[in-house]
Amino acid sequence: MERQSDGGTWTRGKIIGRGSFGTVSLATTKGKFIKRRQSNFPPLIAVKWAEVSHSETLQKEREILTKLQGCPHILRCYGDEITTTAGNGDLIYNILLEYASGGTLASLIKNSNGGLPEAKVKRYTRSILQGLNHIHNHGYVHCDLKPQNILLVPCSSSSMGTTHIDFIAKIADFSSTKKNTVRQRKKWKGFQDLSLRGTPLYMSPESVARKEQEAPSDIWALGCIVAEMITGKPAWNCEPDMNVDELLSRIGSGNELPEIPNEMSKEGKEFLKRCFVRNSMFRFTADMLLHHSFLSEDTNETKEGEGGQTTPELLNGSKLQLTSSCAEELASEGRKRRRLKFLC
């Protein structure tokens, strides 16, 4: 491929990732623009790009990111720009994104030697939930939530008079994101979005069985991510030679659930039970999970992006009907192949 040209205020660097809908390059802001403060982004950014003729998905992603801007738990977008190849002048569409120097959550899990400490899992889970809550409140469904699409961005934190670099988890890659169609379904019975999106290991039962992908599907995927962070392995215990069809059959039919890790705390196990509910109507919302006791000890985590519902609602919009014991628990929480290697 011809060498890609630079942007007006940035210089394209090495390729750091490739996906179905675009390539990602590291880029640096041109020094003269930093000095003159003519650039609204930091010295290092990530540029996701594709030829204009094949950039429809990237342009849609840019539009969604613009509507979701302002949430600190979603990868920041600095704008877009069209450039040309150095040789034949082909037009290239570029999205300018926040650079996540910590890499992906998937890489962190892979290098964890058996899973992450529960304290770190809680912190990353809260960040992901705050991002999800923001996405759902704006009428969108991510549809492809997985460790590969959670990026780690550095942030400074202080304790005992010292400052050290930590990482915050941010949701990225909105190429599969769609509008929430629950309201439309209520108006037009029988309506169904038949375009199945996502990665099999993180798909919910209703998305496999009925091709329904709404906000509850993201919550199921979150549960899979949390279990994977704890154990270092996918939530579904699959044989090495299992193909996609066999996995989807396990997810979409029957009563089987992903295994909840024994090494988790009691609160962590209860948290996952709220995510792994086969009937999507009774799965907890992001806002409800943010008030779960599993996350209540993370007092230093920013509260931005959380919802302010005083009466929890289920993902179908109905008020939660509680038994006395469950109501008591919520009140307490509020207080305090196709082969498997291709599935990801």
Residue 72 pLDDT: 96
Q: Does a structural domain hold residue 1? A: no
Based on the structure, what is the number of domains in the chain? 2
Q: Are 281 and 220 in contact (CB under 8 A)?
A: no
Q: Which domain holds residue 297?
A: 105-342
Both 301 and 175 in a single domain?
A: yes
Report the percentage of the chain scoring pLDDT > 70. Answer: 75
Q: Does a structural domain hold residue 3? A: no
Mean pLDDT of the 80-97 span: 90
Helices (H), the chain: 31-35, 56-67, 105-110, 118-137, 182-187, 205-209, 215-231, 244-252, 266-275, 286-290, 324-335
User: What one-character-per-residue DSSP string does 117-138 give?
Assistant: -HHHHHHHHHHHHHHHHHHHHT
Both 193 and 67 in a single domain?
A: no
Q: Does a structural domain hold residue 270? A: yes
Residue 87 pLDDT: 74
Q: Are 154 and 165 in contact (CB under 8 A)?
A: yes
Residue 89 pLDDT: 81
- 189 annotated to a ligand binding site: no
pLDDT tens digits for 119-177?
Answer: 999 999 999 999 999 999 999 999 999 999 999 999 866 555 666 678 999 999 999 99
Residue 225 pLDDT: 98
Both 270 and 200 in a single domain?
A: yes
Q: Are 66 and 77 in contact (CB under 8 A)?
A: yes
CATH number, residue 290: 1.10.510.10
11 pLDDT higher than 50: yes
Lowest mean pLDDT among 50-64, 148-162, 238-252: 148-162
Residue 58 pLDDT: 97
57 pLDDT higher than 90: yes
Alpha-carbon gap, residue 152 to 142, rounded angstroms: 18
Q: Does a structural domain hold residue 84? A: yes
Q: Which residue in this structure is represented by tokens 């990868």?
A: 75
Both 184 and 271 in a single domain?
A: yes
Which positions ≥6 away from 110 have C-beta within 8 Å? 232
Lowest mean pLDDT among 6-20, 50-64, 201-215, 288-302: 288-302
Query: How does the average pLDDT of the chain come out, rounded?
Result: 82
- Last residue of some domain: 81, 98, 115? 98
Give the distance, in angstroms, between the CA of residue 132 and the centroid of all CA atoms in the same chain: 7
Alpha-carbon gap, residue 207 to 201, rounded angstroms: 12
Both 87 and 153 in a single domain?
A: no
Alpha-carbon gap, residue 129 to 133, rounded angstroms: 6
Q: Does a structural domain hold residue 273? A: yes
Give the distance, in angstroms, between the CA of residue 275 and the centroid of all CA atoms in the same chain: 15
Handedness of CA 54, 56, 58, 62 (dihedral sign): positive
Q: Does a structural domain hold residue 2? A: no
305 pLDDT higher than 50: no
Active site residues: 144
Both 73 and 192 in a single domain?
A: no
Q: Does a structural domain hold residue 37? A: yes
Amino acid found at 290: L
Pairing of the two strands 140-141 and 178-179? antiparallel
Residue 306 pLDDT: 39
Mean pLDDT of the 11-29 span: 92
The model carries a pTM of 0.82
Both 87 and 143 in a single domain?
A: no
Both 128 and 24 in a single domain?
A: no
Confidence band (pLDDT; 50, 70, 90) for 86? Answer: confident
Q: Looking at per-residue confidence, does 34 or 168 come out higher?
A: 168
Q: Which residue in this structure is represented by tokens 């390539």?
A: 23
Residue 157 pLDDT: 60
Both 234 and 300 in a single domain?
A: yes
Q: Does a structural domain hold residue 245? A: yes
Residue 180 pLDDT: 85
Lowest mean pLDDT among 280-284, 287-291, 297-301, 319-323: 319-323
- Last residue of some domain: 98, 131, 155? 98
The torsion defined by the Cα of 256, 340, 342 and 251, in degrees rounded to 10, comes to -10
Beta bridge partners of 81: 94
Residue 197 pLDDT: 74
Lowest mean pLDDT among 163-172, 199-208, 267-276: 163-172
Both 86 and 164 in a single domain?
A: no
Both 174 and 313 in a single domain?
A: yes
- Last residue of some domain: 76, 98, 120? 98
Residue 51 pLDDT: 94
Which positions ≥6 away from 47 have C-beta within 8 Å? 7, 10, 12, 24, 25, 26, 27, 94, 95, 96, 97
